[in-house]
Structure 1
């Protein structure tokens, strides 16, 4: 398990190093990667997954995508209403993939502001009382204290830059976008739609 603050120096490189280490440890058979980026574009905090999915699908300044299957983008989000259909589609289309689940998470004031990289499935919606099946062999979450707070959009942007750049560093053939290249991705609505599913966070963190 790794906790990384996006404001740390070289945060994206640290994130990339940690992710590469976990992939070597837990994906020893080099199974094909599938990224499932969960959330709704309608809430600034909860759109973390779709923003990252969009960046990985069409890398700014290169026009290419990562050599992995991506589920969940700003145009085609994966949220509570279609989550189980997406799980069935993944099971149908892929033979023993290695799934990396990405979502927003709710945590306390000490945990808020950190990116969590952890082995094991993510439980989307548990933090808001939704019963959805767990997903993923690894989980990546950006931890918010409140996804509706005015600062959530700022926090989401820092999370998404750290995570997306960290993932892209795994693929040297892709040019990692500069911070300025990602600005347009964050021009998203901020209405009160509550269809999203922020993941729950283990209350034992930092104990």
Structure 2
């Protein structure tokens, strides 16, 4: 459960019929703009736990993207339903990322709480997110860019709110985020292929 560090973001309503295509464009634009010569590997870090409905957006998305590394050798996905990345192992995973990958470009994905009218919105932004801030946990900032989904109302009784979040809302956002990544990564690597061959 995260807190925004950078409010200059682009967002899409998951209930929009164009949510998948719009989100894929946002992700693609962020990759084109911020993934530069300083980076090599891309690590998609999906944060959250499968023990809380409201906080399982990351693991669900990671599960849906877990086959991606078999298609793109430069892309890795950490944080799935089987092996979630959560408060207890986040620092260890961040250390692992920066010691195991070549100049990693980290894309952090997490659920967040927000205003009632923003529930169901998916945000893409430059810079790190702060996992755990939504439930008052002090965890390290992570991500060169980040994607967050507003799963429920924030501001009070966060743990109870998370436990009572509708799985339908979270599943829909996980579907849209994973689809957005599949399309945007295809476009991004296709574009990079053109750039390196011309």
Q: Same fold (TM over 0.5)?
A: yes
- Cα deviation for residue 64 of structure 1 reads 4.7
Instruction: Decide which structure has greater helix share.
Output: 2
Partners of 2:72 and 2:178 lie apart in 1 by 11
Partners of 2:26 and 2:165 lie apart in 1 by 30
CA contact 2:15–2:120 (8 Å) conserved in 1 = no
Partners of 1:135 and 1:47 lie apart in 2 by 18
Structure 1: 5+ residue stretches without partners? 174-207
Partners of 1:171 and 1:106 lie apart in 2 by 27
CA spacing shift, 1:134–1:150, aligned 2, 3 Å:
closer
- Cα deviation for residue 116 of structure 1 reads 0.8
- Cα deviation for residue 157 of structure 1 reads 0.8
Structure 2: 5+ residue stretches without partners? 1-8, 154-160, 188-198
TM-score under structure 2 normalisation?
A: 0.80
Instruction: Decide which structure has greater strand share.
Output: 2
Counterpart mapping for 1:16-95 below 5 A: 16-29=24-37, 31-58=40-67, 64=70, 67=73, 68-95=75-102
CA spacing shift, 1:48–1:65, aligned 2, 3 Å:
farther
Partners of 1:137 and 1:131 lie apart in 2 by 19
Runs of 4+ deviating beyond 3 Å: 63-67
Alignment of 1:161 onto 2:171: no
